Every structure is written in structure tokens, then in C-alpha cells.
Structure 1
Amino acid sequence: MSTTSIPVTGLNPYEVRVGRDILADLAAVIGTAATKVLIVHAPPLSRHAEALRAQLEPRYQVLLAEVPDAEAAKRIEVAAFCWQVMGQTDFTRTDVVVGLGGGATTDLAGFVAATWLRGVRVVQIPTTVLGMVDAAVGGKTGINTAEGKNLVGAFHAPAAVLADLSLLDALPRNELVAGYAEVVKAGFIAEPEILEIVEADPLVATDPATDEFRRTVELAIAMKARVVGEDFTEQGLREILNYGHTLGHAIEHAERYQWRHGAAISIGMVFAAELSRLTRNLSDSAVDRHRSILESLGLPTTYPLGRWKTLLATMQRDKKARAGMMRFIVLDDIGRPAVLNGAEEPLLFAAYQEIAA
């Protein structure tokens, strides 16, 4: 199967390569200027990390930094461990960090690369659907704090992203579907074709071996590439990518990051749709479509009513808030996102009541 190259334009242009068994391209992407490569990976990917090290040596000195799995990797102590490895091996500005893993690992690897010597190159190899269509693309990097998700970070474009679909073949179904929530998000805000493919057959759409899966993933990546190419530092258009994320991130925080990102974002999208119905006259059928599509994938669409005050407090600290006002991405219609500024708490609670279990 051929490789698709999706360009990301802007001040630091790069390509997202999508295909199967494409990791042989890694050395060519790293190039000849580097002498050292740091592969940041989670424990379940140790075998893949060792295989990449064998592939890259002796051309480069390859260092492995094993970090905790999932959101536990996105802590300042873990970033400091990576910096220590780099410092003890004289890692220079011409050397390269490789992020091998899901969204949390690529977020961490990107942040480590952005901050070491004020910025070294990073090549992202996402191993989850979430990583391929969202976290690894666009140059947003970050770590979490006790106060919230991704409150510390930097914009740092990767040198390249290698989205090797063969890495998804052994992914557990729940992990794959959770990540696919971000593909569906792309459908709601910009690419309705994705929704049509899912509605035709959810199982086929979420099977990494099918043409339908590859089509939806490429559509989601291409959408994000267009948006971040135009608005790298999220001054305007890029905000639409936060659809469902304000409440979703608050749920992740409330659940101490034990929930999968996509599960929380699924609920967040239904909340955003209900808010859109109240403020933008989004049709009942469009709101119902959110529920039917997400539930057909086995994703949650409700959350306990009694958690509202906790969620509200977290949303008020969200990094998207400006001048003390919360900001939400809403929909005028499917494929027509808009920004809602300064919604009052009674209105938000009314929308939340519609998703409360």
C-alpha cells in the first residue's frame, strides 16, 4: 500500500506520512546532521524502541528513555528525567528526539525537545489513533499540573510525523475506539464525510485494516494540517480543534486522568452540541446525530449530575479562558464551528443537565 504525504505548511513546514510499514523512512527523516537520537517511549513499546535502535545504529548513538504509560508521563519529574539523560550524553542542537507512543508520550517528547537548548528537532511516531490524528500533529506540546491538563507547554513543530498504520493492528479495541473520538470530532467540525463513513458501518470504519479507516484518518489529519498551517499558535482558527475539549479536559482532571482522553472528549462533544442547541439553534437532529454516532462506537455520552461544581471550577481555569471568561467551541451546524464567549453558569448548567446521568 502506498504512502500518503500530507503537508503541514507555515513557518516550519513538515510532512505527515501515512501508510503501513513506513518506519524504514526514519533515518532519512533524521538526516545526517545528528549524531545522537533520544527515543522517548512507554514500557509497552520497549520492543519497538529496541527495534528502532537496532535500525538506526551504528549511524547514530541511540538513547532510550522509558517513561510511564499514558498521562502519568506528562509530569515535570518525567521531563526532568529526559533532560538528565540528554545532559549526561551531551545532547546538542543538531541531535533529534523521537517520540514513540500515544498522545501523552508525543506530548512529552515534544515538550522535552522544545525546552532542551531552547529547541531541538523532534520526529513523532504515534502508535495510537489519538496520536496520529491529533497529539502528534500540530506542534502543541505540554505536561499536566495538579491544577489542570496541559497548562505548561510550548508550540514546537515536529520535523516529521510517521503515522504507521501497522502499529495499530494489535491495539486493544477500547484504546482504538477512544482515540477514534478525535476522528469523529474532525467530522463534526469540518469533514462530514467521516460521519457518513461511520454511520455506514462503525465496525468497518474503526478497523485499521480497511480502506474506510485509512480514509477517515487521512481526512482528520488533513483537516488538522490545514488548520495548524494557518494558525500555529492558536490565535484564532485553531481553536475549533478544541470542540468538546473544555468539558472533556475537566472530566479527565476529575477522574485523575484514569479515563481515556477520547471517552472524556466524547461526553464533551455532546455537551458542546447541547450548548450549541441552546445558543446557536443547532438542530435537534444534529444533536441526536452526536449521540447516535458516538454511542455506535461504544463511547460514553453522559456524566453524573452531582459532579457539575467540580467540573465548572476546572473549566474556569482552562487554558482557553481569556480575561476570566470561559470559551467554548460550538456549532452553527455540522461542519460550521464558532466560538462562544462568556456563557453564564446557568446556561452551561442547563446544557450539562442534558448529558447528566
Structure 2
Amino acid sequence: MALLNVNAKTKEYPIYIEKDFSGLKACIEKSGLLKAKILIVTDSNVEKLYLADLKEALKDIEENICVHVFPAGEENKTLDTIKGIYESCISNKLDRSSAIIALGGGVCGDMAGFAAATYMRGIKFIQVPTTLLSQVDSSVGGKTGVDFSGGKNIIGAFYQPEFVYANVSAIETLPYDEFISGMGEVIKHGLIMDKAYFDYIFKNKESIKERKKDTLSYIIEGSCEIKARVVAQDETEQGLREILNFGHTAGHAIESLSGFTIPHGKCVALGMICALNLSLKYGNIRKEDIEEVKALLSYFDFPSKVSGIASKSIYDQMFYDKKARNNVLTFVILSEMGKAVSTKAVTKEDIFTALEEIIEFS
């Protein structure tokens, strides 16, 4: 259906956007991995939905295929789970010519990628994302890792896949909460880099919510193109790539403080509202722009407030964020709609004021 290329400094690779898994074998062959031992890593939820279909698409090379299934959930994004993947690599005799396929959402992709990056000092891996969030964001760009000691993705590596294979049909079976979780990242992409893309999302929100395949394909391709453009310029987040963290400084803090019980996309939406309020003071956007974004987030049933978490707790948790440098917080704000910048100039007082906009007081 669509083909994009990521031209990262360390590796160039394609993103295939397809309607099913039938083209996966040809993509593996094109990557020179047809005769390689391949470990499919997936979670206990995705196993029930897509593992059989994936194995059917690869039945001609089934003698080279083995599977590792781990318990689903962000709470299992740990080094213990990584250890289990390593053990499967060893027991199935994977060597440096082997590969790992990450079949699942962002949790699976992050962990399978980290295992691939570190097993035998690096073997090849393939991203087969099955959620909207992973198709538009986490599968592209080479960020891998695990949560540790309450910090999200605090241990990890930049490690690019051989290719990304996004099956749009997988989005049709997503639970609604997981679907809108991905929409948080889609909306973010328009806000930080492409006002016309944001306008498209706003104007086509009904067909997006109805999950019409053509519209889904358009936003997946659009978001991947934006992400690929950023990664090509800044692969390891030394500058420009920081703009992809719009909404994540506060969002990740809320997610960690909730014990990962609030989905990532909802936390990012709350973080975006916080960042928009900072943008009103430090950037060049209007209150009307904020209201338009909040209306779009509300249409997709994102919360505008979080309860049970104090603003001071969120503020303190932010300093565990990877973007904090020398005990100074970095915020991504909008200099205008469709253009984002990083800044360290935000005062503590203004951060608390912005946080209080998303705190539900009892």
C-alpha cells in the first residue's frame, strides 16, 4: 500500500504499510534473512490475535521460526522479561546471523529491539507493530529499552530495525482505549511539525474514529513520514529529535506515578495540555489554538484532568526524565502551531501553574 524510507545515520531501512501479513516473507527475503533463524517475540495478548496469521505468512520457512511469548502489560517491561528473551535465543541456538521479529505494540517492540541490540552484541531485528501507537511512533526510529526502578525506558539503546512492516488491518481489532492511545501521538505529530497534517486530522476525525482503512493508512503514512524526517536529521536525540517529546515530560511522569495504570497515550495527552499552556507564555500560540487542540483530544475521549496525583509529585518525577540535564528540566513547547522547540527557560512557578491546569482537585 505504501513504502517509506528512514535514512538514519547508522542505517537506511524501509517502512512497509500493508493490508495484511502476506507480503512479510518477501520483505524478509529482500533483507537477506530468508535462511536465518528467526525468533518471533510477542506478548500473551497478541499471541492469540496474530501469531497464527504471521506464522501462516511464513509457513514456507517455518523450520527457521521459533517463538517467545511473554506476559502482556507495561508492568512486564523489565529486565527479567529481557532475560527470558535471551534464554529463548540461547535455547533456540540463535547466532549472529539470526534475527528477532517484534510482533506487537510498543512494549514488545522496545524490549525485542533491546534484546536484539544486546544479544551477542547485536543481531538483526524486524518491527511488526500491531497497535496504532507502535505503527505511527515507537516502531520507527530505533529507540529500544525497558522500564527500571520506576523510570520509563530508563535502560535502553538506539538500535535500528532492518525494516518496519505495519499491517493496517490490525488496527481494526484494537480495543478503543488502545486505539485512542495511538491517536495521542498522531495529534502530536501534527502539532510539532505539520499544521496541514493537524488540520487533516481535525477535519477527518469522524472517519478516523470509525477506523476507515483509507484514512488510517493516510495517518499512519503521514506520521511515519514525519517521524522518519526527524530521525534522519537527529538519530540519537541530540537536538531536533527532542521535539518528538512534546507532552512527554509531564506525560511520562504521570504514567510512572500512576504505576502505569493510565495508558501512555492518555498521559501524553495530559502532558500536551500542560505543554500547550507553557507554549501560551513562552511560544506564539493563542488561547483559541489550545481550545481547538483540547476539543480534538476530547473528541477522542482523552482526559483533560488527572486525579489522585499532586502537582509536586509530577514535578519531582520529571527530574528522572532522560531529557533532564544537570538537574534542569527541558520542555518541548510550540513556537507556533506546527512548529516545536526545546527550552530550558521555563520557570518552576510556570511549570506548577501549567500542571495545575491538568490536576483535578477534590
Question: Could you say which TM-score interval applies, normalised by the shorter chain?
Answer: over 0.9
Distance 1:250 1:306, change over 3 A: closer
Distance 1:320 1:38, change over 3 A: same
Give, in whole Å, the separation in 2 of the partners of 1:251 and 1:23: 39
Letter in 2 for 1:322: R
Corresponding position of 1:51: 53
Question: Secondary structure at the residue paired with 1:85?
Answer: helix
Give, in whole Å, the separation in 1 of the partners of 2:108 and 2:26: 20
Letter in 2 for 1:53: K
Corresponding position of 2:235: 232
Question: Secondary structure at the residue paired with 2:224?
Answer: helix
Letter in 2 for 1:14: Y
In the TM superposition, 1:74-223 aligns within 5 A as 74-223=77-226
Residue 229 of structure 1 and its aligned partner are, at CA, apart by: 1.3
Letter in 1 for 2:24: D
Question: Secondary structure at the residue paired with 2:324?
Answer: coil
Give, in whole Å, the separation in 1 of the partners of 2:32 and 2:55: 15
Give, in whole Å, the separation in 2 of the partners of 1:74 and 1:142: 8
Letter in 1 for 2:19: R
Letter in 1 for 2:287: D
Would the aligned equivalents of 2:169 and 2:213 in 1 still touch at CA under 8 Å? Answer: no
Distance 1:26 1:207, change over 3 A: farther
Would the aligned equivalents of 2:15 and 2:164 in 1 still touch at CA under 8 Å? Answer: yes
Give, in whole Å, the separation in 2 of the partners of 1:113 and 1:207: 36
Query: Does structure 1 residue 20 correspond to structure 2 residue 22?
Result: no
Give, in whole Å, the separation in 1 of the partners of 2:337 and 2:233: 21
Would the aligned equivalents of 1:101 and 1:127 in 2 still touch at CA under 8 Å? Answer: yes
Residue 282 of structure 1 and its aligned partner are, at CA, apart by: 2.4
Residue 147 of structure 1 and its aligned partner are, at CA, apart by: 3.1
Picking from 332, 337, 346, the partner of 1:329 is 332
Letter in 2 for 1:316: F
Give, in whole Å, the separation in 2 of the partners of 1:64 and 1:210: 30
Give, in whole Å, the separation in 1 of the partners of 2:88 and 2:197: 42
Give, in whole Å, the separation in 1 of the partners of 2:331 and 2:25: 38
Residue 190 of structure 1 and its aligned partner are, at CA, apart by: 1.1
TM-score between both structures, scaled by the size of structure 2: 0.93
Query: Does structure 1 residue 8 correspond to structure 2 residue 11?
Result: no
Where does the alignment leave 5 or more consecutive residues of structure 1 unmatched? none
Distance 1:23 1:102, change over 3 A: farther
Give, in whole Å, the separation in 2 of the partners of 1:165 and 1:220: 14
Would the aligned equivalents of 1:183 and 1:194 in 2 still touch at CA under 8 Å? Answer: no
Give, in whole Å, the separation in 2 of the partners of 1:163 and 1:306: 36
Which is further off, 325-334 or 339-348? 339-348
Which is further off, 220-229 or 343-352? 343-352
Where does the alignment leave 5 or more consecutive residues of structure 2 unmatched? none
Give, in whole Å, the separation in 2 of the partners of 1:200 and 1:336: 20
Q: Percent identity?
A: 31
Would the aligned equivalents of 1:191 and 1:220 in 2 still touch at CA under 8 Å? Answer: no
Question: Secondary structure at the residue paired with 1:66?
Answer: strand
Query: Does structure 1 residue 261 correspond to structure 2 residue 264?
Result: yes
Distance 1:338 1:212, change over 3 A: same
Letter in 1 for 2:227: K
Question: Secondary structure at the residue paired with 1:169?
Answer: helix
CA deviations 1:179-236 (Å, max 9, x no partner) are 1110000010112233223322423123333422321221111000011111111111
